[in-house]
Structure 1
Amino acid sequence: MAKADAASLDEAGEGEESGLKSALGHTRPRTYEELRAVLASGTIHFPKRLRQVAIFLWQHPDDVALGTIVQVAEQAGVQPSTLVRFAKSFGFSGFSEFQSLFKDHVKGTWPEGRAREVEPAATEETRASLHFLSGMIGAARTSLDRIGETIDVASFEAMVTLLAEADLIYLVGSKRAFPVVTYLSLTLSQQGVRNVLVDNVGSTAFDQIGCIGRRDGLLAVSFSPYNSITPDLVRVAHERDAGIVAITDSTFSPLIPLARHSIEVIEADFAGFRSLAASLSVGMALVHGVAARRAARGRGSD
């Protein structure tokens, strides 16, 4: 962060802290779950940098629990002083006391690791690659375990219903989310469900979605930092009263106020890389549900 940004934030800090405390009723969260409930309530409107902190804390509780204030600040892309101000805004004396919420949350949740033996003759490059593979497998397992424990069943059911009843399903996702919607489009087609993959080939995304109407459904997938074309495309569908559902990774996603229903999927990362295991699993479950629902109603590909 530039020094000018940090200085500007420091000047605004006292007002921000007062506003947040007011929204919280001066009662600080006692657990990580209470903190998430407050963040998800929509009662707090964060300025840019504090919102950036909130998104990082929401998505990476393990990193917050294990890291130093300097490490967490670097990963979140802010200054350590911003983390301290964020913590104080919730009634804590500083970041260390605030961090205890995350330490208590993750305590005892990690599976015991097993060392994988590597052939003694393996090169350093091979050892490094196998270490990376092990890390990615662990991150995928963490993501899958999390979604298995936290998925909102009611939202999932509502998403299946909306998409199953849609005349035509549009799929929107770009950058890291693009492989997800591409595979979902393929599997929908294999199940005889008509769909349109908005792939933006030739910069035609807005033309591709231009015929969407209120009898159509749209499945959007988007992950932070939410700087892709996806939210703009979803707004077009929203203006045309199409049924919108979303797979996204936090309550701060711009898709949340536009979608009728959504599922939160947080992918764990390793060494800065994230798998798409949980996102693909949720997406495939939606495809299965839509195909089964349509088959039961005898709609097939109509």
Structure 2
Amino acid sequence: MAQSPTRSRARSSSKKAEGEKGGAALGYARPRTYEELRAVLSSGTVHFPKRLRQVAIFLWQHPGDVALGTISSVATQAGVQPSTLVRFAKTFGFAGFSDFQEIFKEHVKGSWPEGRERNGRGRGRPTGTNPNTHFVNGLVAASQASLGRIEAGFDLDAFERIVAIMAAADLIYVIGSKRAFPVTAYVSLALSQQGVRNVLIDNVGSTAFDQIGCLGKRDAVLAVSFSPYNSITPELVAAARERSASIVSITDSTFSPLVKLSDAWIEVIESDFAGFRSLAATLAVGMGLVNGVVAARDV
């Protein structure tokens, strides 16, 4: 039986109202650009359940993949079902994922690191190429994408605040575990070589909390942590905050638990290849901090 025009219009109006209600429920208009979406996500006003939070972190870190991928490929990379992406989009007042995806497409048009990163991932191995060489080339491309992203959008104000806090500290505690540990170990070594007193929290013998036992309010903590943020680092930083120490951090999204604990933080998003993530950009920023601290103390 054919629907009456009146009933059809009523159903259409109802769906439109539901979409508007979704955006209104969050207290802001539907984001028109990627920058507006980032501003909303970083505002702290949106509280997501676990799966939507997982989507938000992925979207924050990989706008190029979202812009150029299909809903299936994006869902696979984010580790969720396609329906979760649709649900996330509707939360922000969009009709569906394709509608939501448009703001990412506009964003990456002028963002060469993202496009370059995706091109590096998507290329097949040329016939006759050694697979080990292909893997190395893939990791090099991921590192270049990470470094290019820093070059294109470096937050100098945040960087200088971190340098100032670290330079003023009596003692710098350097905290990072799992994948972040190579970064903190190198930063600690570089600081020591430049005569800057510091303590590397290495958690040998599960003594991490004992290692920060003497931390005081005149000291500073440099923490490094990456998603999925399931290391001991946030707990150590929270303990340091309770001792009134200054906290600065390097992390990869506004959803990091370090953000709310930090006096200043800088975002570094590392690209990956075949499940292995680069550390090139984080190391570059870390060495930059060392150089800045030494220069500030010499003034």
Q: Into which bin does the TM-score normalised by the smaller protein fall?
A: 0.7 to 0.9
Task: Name 2:51's counterpart in structure 1.
Answer: 49
Distance 2:22 2:103 in 1: 22
Q: Residue 271 of structure 2 contacts residue 277 of structure 2 at CA under 8 Å; is this kept in 1?
A: yes
1:140-289 mapped onto 2 (5 Å cutoff) = 140-289=143-292
Task: Name 1:133's counterpart in structure 2.
Answer: 136
Change (3 A) 1:154 1:92: same
CA-to-partner distance for each residue in 1:67-91, whole Å, 9 max, x for gaps? 2211211211211111001111111
Q: Residue 248 of structure 2 contacts residue 262 of structure 2 at CA under 8 Å; is this kept in 1?
A: yes
Q: Residue 161 of structure 1 contacts residue 290 of structure 1 at CA under 8 Å; is this kept in 2?
A: yes
Question: Which runs of no fewer than 5 residues in structure 1 stay unpaired?
Answer: 1-14, 297-302
SS at match of 1:171: strand
Residue identity opposite 1:105 in structure 2: H
Q: Residue 20 of structure 1 contacts residue 44 of structure 1 at CA under 8 Å; is this kept in 2?
A: no
Per the TM alignment, residue 18 of structure 1 is displaced from its structure 2 partner at its CA by 5.3
Residue identity opposite 1:137 in structure 2: V
Question: Which runs of no fewer than 5 residues in structure 2 stay unpaired?
Answer: 1-17
Number of corresponding residues: 274
Distance 2:24 2:188 in 1: 45
Q: Residue 212 of structure 1 contacts residue 237 of structure 1 at CA under 8 Å; is this kept in 2?
A: yes
SS at match of 2:26: helix
Equivalent position to 2:70, from 50, 68, 71: 68
Task: Name 1:293's counterpart in structure 2.
Answer: 296
Change (3 A) 1:267 1:111: closer
Distance 2:22 2:30 in 1: 14
Distance 1:128 1:177 in 2: 28
Q: Residue 22 of structure 2 contacts residue 90 of structure 2 at CA under 8 Å; is this kept in 1?
A: no
Task: Name 1:33's counterpart in structure 2.
Answer: 35
Residue identity opposite 1:200 in structure 2: N
Q: Residue 116 of structure 2 contacts residue 145 of structure 2 at CA under 8 Å; is this kept in 1?
A: no
Is the deviation greater in 100-109 or in 182-191? 100-109
TM-score of the superposition, structure 2-length normalised? 0.86
Distance 1:90 1:263 in 2: 26
Residue identity opposite 1:192 in structure 2: G
Per the TM alignment, residue 111 of structure 1 is displaced from its structure 2 partner at its CA by 5.1
Q: Once superposed, which parts of structure 1, at least 4 consecutive aligned residues long, lie more than 2 Å away?
A: 17-25, 107-114
1:15-26 mapped onto 2 (5 Å cutoff) = 21-25=24-28
SS at match of 2:258: coil
CA-to-partner distance for each residue in 1:54-108, whole Å, 9 max, x for gaps? 0010001111122221121121121111100111111111111111211222225
Distance 1:57 1:228 in 2: 22
Per the TM alignment, residue 19 of structure 1 is displaced from its structure 2 partner at its CA by 6.4
Distance 2:207 2:83 in 1: 44
Distance 1:91 1:178 in 2: 40
Identity %: 67
TM-score of the superposition, structure 1-length normalised? 0.85
